[in-house]
Amino acid sequence: MEPILYTHDMLITVIQTKFPALMHGRDFLVGHPVDPDTNRQTGEPFIAVWKSVEIPQPDAGTLKAEFAANESTYRAMLIRTYRDRLLVATDGKANPPQDAPPDVKAQAAAWQQYRQRLRDLTGQPDFPFDVQWPAMPA
């Protein structure tokens, strides 16, 4: 299985795990080079700004080595974080009122299935290295 590029979000996850009191956007900023034509990441993420006075800025190589040594754990954390945000964003869509018309109930059932598929991501055979994300209902 081909590993995915070490990304911006992965570096943020490592930093926030090692330093739970720090928050991206407040205490540090992570960046990465981007291809101007495709807007895709073209190189390693880096710490662009470090504002914490109490905690010295960690070495980027050390953080990448930490990720590599615990890649499965960090990937799973990142996927769960994204999955949990999708669940929160769809909280109200899966529970129609009892007196809702049949088409609203059918749509709610589709959202319930989608939400269950999100919860089942961690049971996929190649999780967390190859995740098949479910499609949102129309």
Please report, in tens digits, the pLDDT of each residue of the chain (138 residues total): 444 578 999 999 999 999 999 999 999 999 999 899 988 888 899 999 999 999 999 999 999 999 999 999 999 999 999 999 999 999 989 999 999 999 999 999 999 999 999 999 999 999 999 999 999 998
C-alpha count within 13 angstroms, C-beta hemisphere, residue 55: 16
66: left (phi over 0), alpha (psi -120 to 50) or beta: alpha
Three-class secondary structure of residue 63 per DSSP: helix
pLDDT given for residue 3 in this prediction: 47
Q: Where are the domains of the chain?
A: 1-69
Residue 34: partners with Cβ closer than 8 Å, 6 or more residues away = 40, 41, 42
